[in-house]
Structure 1
Amino acid sequence: MQVYVNGALLPKEQAVVSVFDHGLLYGDGVFEGIRVYGGKVFLLGEHIERLYESARAIRLVMPISPAEMTAAVEKTVAANGIRDGYVRLVVTRGSGSLGLDIRKTSDPQVIVIADTISLYPAELYEKGMQIITASTIRNHPAALSPRIKSLNYLNNILAKIEATDAGAPEAIMLNHKGDVAECTGDNLFLVKKGELLTPPVDSGVLDGVTRRAVMRLAEGAGVTVREVTLQRHDVYVADECFLTGTAAEVIPVVGVDGRMIGDGKPGPVTQDLRQRFQRLTRGELTL
């Protein structure tokens, strides 16, 4: 494996950063997870745009331009011969002192890793999965905006631990108001009376690239899409539920907190959107 670090492709054993890097010390940095299908990097422009927005939000000055960042991703994918896989693009604040002052940091690190990934077992995509609601709430958006895809993922990790302890592959996270936000690594969608519902970004969710793509696919299929505030009750009484994410793609949920969703099987809207998304990744559909 060749890993891109600041302009150079290095064997993974040599792809290192300083122990004084604020990405390690404080989770001070931003990242993107990106998919590769058929050798082409999927929706790369949208990922690069969000990366730079996240960096701007935390006052991280990017060391290279968006065009150079795009080229770095494509170069790393090609160097590793990735046809169908996953890219982790990371930018850290860089090395600094043992303190929080960003003025004492230098040399932001640009890291690109291209590998394969399988987030959930294949059978869950066919049969659907059972998930829970975590007691760990999503970060208050006035404290740390969930729209920033930062290296500080401890909030999500704590909720993921709850899911794992409960024997579930995922967990729904509520926001500070008690409304449904998103899952630990995925956005959430419901289908009710033929309409597609999902929490708005001001509910404290990451504005997922796959989330946006699925919303556009649904609109193109004639499905009404609404961003609305949702409570757990809405999830429990939904006709269908599914999750979206770069790594997860589109995966059905058939049970939440011991309540069966719909008839306990992946629903027709979910299945149709999953098929449309797969066609999109193969270049058979456009947004």
Structure 2
Amino acid sequence: MKIWLDGKLVEQEEAKTSVFDHGTLYGDGIFEGIRFYNRRVFRLEDHMDRLFNCAHYLLLDMPYSKEELSKAVCETAAASGLDDGYIRLVVTRGIGNLGLNPFNCKRSCVYIIADKISLYDPAVYENGLSLITSSIRRNRPDTICPQVKSLNYLNNILAKVEAVRQGAAEALMLNDQGNVAECTGDNIFIVKDGTVYTPPVTDGALDGITRRVVLEICREQQIPAEEKTMNRFTVTCADECFLTGTAAECVPVTKLDSYELGSGKIGPVTARILARFQELTQHTGTEF
């Protein structure tokens, strides 16, 4: 496997970073998960915009331009030999000392991995996913901004651990007000009386790229959709439910804790959105 590391493709065994990198020492860095389908990188420009916005917010110097990194992403995907796969683009603060001060790091480190990924058993895309409600609350938006895709995923990891230990693949995360934020690695949508709802980013949700695509699909297909603050009661009473994320794609949900959601099967609105999403992934994107 070839890894793009600070400007060149190297073998996996040669792709090494320093133990003094603040990405390792403090989780000080950002990342993007990007998909490619049929040798096309899906929503590359959107991912680049978000990456650079996060870097700006963290005062993290980017050693490459958007154009250079976009080219590097395509180069890495091509080198993988895969037609369909997943890209992890990581930017760390770079090498510093053992102190906390990030400005002692002279240059950011960038690496790109292109490989396969599978978050869930393929059967859940047909039969639906079961969720548990995590006791781990999502970080407050006024303390850790949910718009930053930081390398520090401890909050999400603790919720994922809780889900796995309870025999579930995914967990619903509430915010400090008890309202729905997102899942450990996915945005959440529900359908009620024909309208699609998803929590606003101000409730602790990431402004997910796939989330944006689904809202675009709803506008295109004239499916009513809006952002709405929701609690656990709202989800349990939903007619349909599904999750979105670059790695997860679009996943139907049929159960939350002991509650069956809707009919317990994939609903018609969800199926319509999933079909259009799959069509877009196969026929749009940046070719490489």
Q: Shorter-chain TM-score category?
A: over 0.9
What does 1:209-228 correspond to in 2, within 5 Å? 209-228=209-228
Is the 8 Å Cα contact of residues 37 and 282 (structure 1) preserved in structure 2? yes
Q: Which runs of 5+ in 1 are unaligned?
A: none
TM-score by length of 1: 0.98
The structure with higher relative contact order (CA 8 Å, sep 6+) is 2
* Residues 32 and 47, structure 1, Cα contact 8 Å, conserved in 2: yes
Query: What are the residue-to-residue correspondences of 1:1-287 with 2, within 5 Å?
Result: 1-283=1-283
Query: CA offset at residue 82 of structure 1?
Result: 2.1
Give distance in 1, aligned partners of 2:165 and 2:118: 21
* 1:130 partner SS: strand
Is the alpha carbon distance of 1:284 and 1:150 closer, same or farther for their aligned partners in structure 2, counting shifts above 3 Å?
A: closer
Give the RMSD, CA atoms, in angstroms.
Answer: 1.0
Whether the aligned pair in 2 keeps the contact of 1:36 and 1:82 (CA below 8 Å) is: no
Q: Deviations for 1:206-238, whole angstroms, at most 9, x for unmatched residues?
A: 000000001110111111111010000000000
Distance 1:28 1:284, change over 3 A: closer
CA deviation digits over 1:162-181, x for unaligned, max 9? 10011001000001111000
Distance 1:201 1:218 in 2: 18
Contact 2:172 2:180 in 1 (8 A): yes
Q: Structure 2: how far apart are the matches of 1:79 and 1:197?
A: 39
Q: 1:246 corresponds to which letter in structure 2? A: T
Indicate if the aligned counterparts of 1:146 and 1:206 stay in contact, CA closer than 8 A.
yes
In 1, distance between residues paired with 2:14 and 2:163?
A: 35
Structure 1 residue runs of 4 or more that deviate by more than 6 Å after TM superposition = none
TM-score calculated relative to the size of structure 2 = 0.97
* CA–CA separation in structure 1 for the residues paired with 2:169 and 2:103: 41
Q: Partner letter of residue 255 of structure 2?
A: G
**Residues 87, 113 of structure 1: 8 Å contact kept:** yes
- State the shift of 1:48 in Å: 0.5
Structure 2: give runs of 5+ residues left out of the alignment: none
In 2: Cα distance, 1:67 partner to 1:78 partner: 17
What is the deviation of 1:284? 7.1
Contact 2:40–2:284 (Cα < 8 Å) also in 1 = no
- Kindly tell me the number of residue pairs found equivalent between the two proteins: 285
